[in-house]
Amino acid sequence: MESTDLPYDALETLRTNGVAFIDLVGEHDPATPIASCPGWTLADLAYHQGEVWHFWGRIVAGPITQRGELQTIRQIERPDDDLLVDWLALTHNELFSALVDAGVDREVWTWTGANRDTAWVRRRMAQDGAIHRYDAAQATGDPYEVGTSVAADGIDEFLMWFAGTERREGEMKPGGTVHLHCTDTDEHDVAGGEWFVSSLKEPNCTFTREHRKGDAAIRGRAHDILMWLWRRSDDGIEIIGDEKVARRFRAYTDLS
């Protein structure tokens, strides 16, 4: 699917989640541990998010279209904890403004192996921000759930650009097919909330957007399935069929 065909506003999602993330960082102890990112604190997560916003803001504003031009992006020294909020607000605003100014058709470099339009970046940043808002919210006791349409698209984006791109050391191929079935989506959501994965092996995932019986079925709300795929949570997930296939499917991709 094209990134411009989304059933939600990617820019507004980026804005809303970014502001909420910055507020969480400002309201809580920077030393708060992030359970979904073992070994990280809230300050570590904030610095990571700010780096991502700065990196893609520079790519879009450039615009940067060649890999060799990436070296022109200045590495930002990590701010002191008491300056993190102001720095985050700056990097978020720069990214948002760059995406607004660029529209959806500007060609930029991406890590996918090909240049893509800025609609792709809008989608990626909306999804990245949703996951990291969840990380921060869970750690600070302020639960957040990704909206159904955004989460369903997040599942689709995960299958398109992350699943199987690099095998995690020691993991085996699933050894069967997988059906992902959202229980709260409708026909307006991406893929109607259903996907059939016929193959998962480095460097990609082969899937179709359809209802089709697999060796293992993963059922749950779109938010729950998205968090399960990103190894954030098992809550709300029902596995039907071959649990070994489901377990290997989830574990196969290196997400580090």
Say what percent of the chain tops pLDDT 70: 98
| Band of pLDDT at residue 75, cut at 50, 70 and 90 | confident
108, 115 contact by CB (below 8 A): yes
What H or E segment, with its residue span, contains residue 107?
strand 107-108
The model's confidence at residue 5, banded by pLDDT at 50, 70 and 90, is confident
Do strands 107-108 and 194-201 pair parallel, antiparallel, or not at all (unpaired)? unpaired
Distance CA 12, CA 189 (A): 17
- State pLDDT tens for residues 100-134: 999 999 999 999 999 999 999 999 999 999 999 99
pLDDT digits (tens, 9 = 90+) for 13-30: 999 999 999 999 999 999
Strand order in the sheet with 216-220: 204-208, 194-201, 178-182, 216-220, 238-241
Q: Are 232 and 134 within 8 A, CB to CB?
A: yes
Sign of CA dihedral 124, 193, 19, 77: negative
Per-residue pLDDT band for 2 (boundaries 50, 70, 90) equals low
In 162-233, the DSSP E strands lie at 178-182, 194-201, 204-208, 216-220
Residue 135 has pLDDT above 80, yes or no: yes
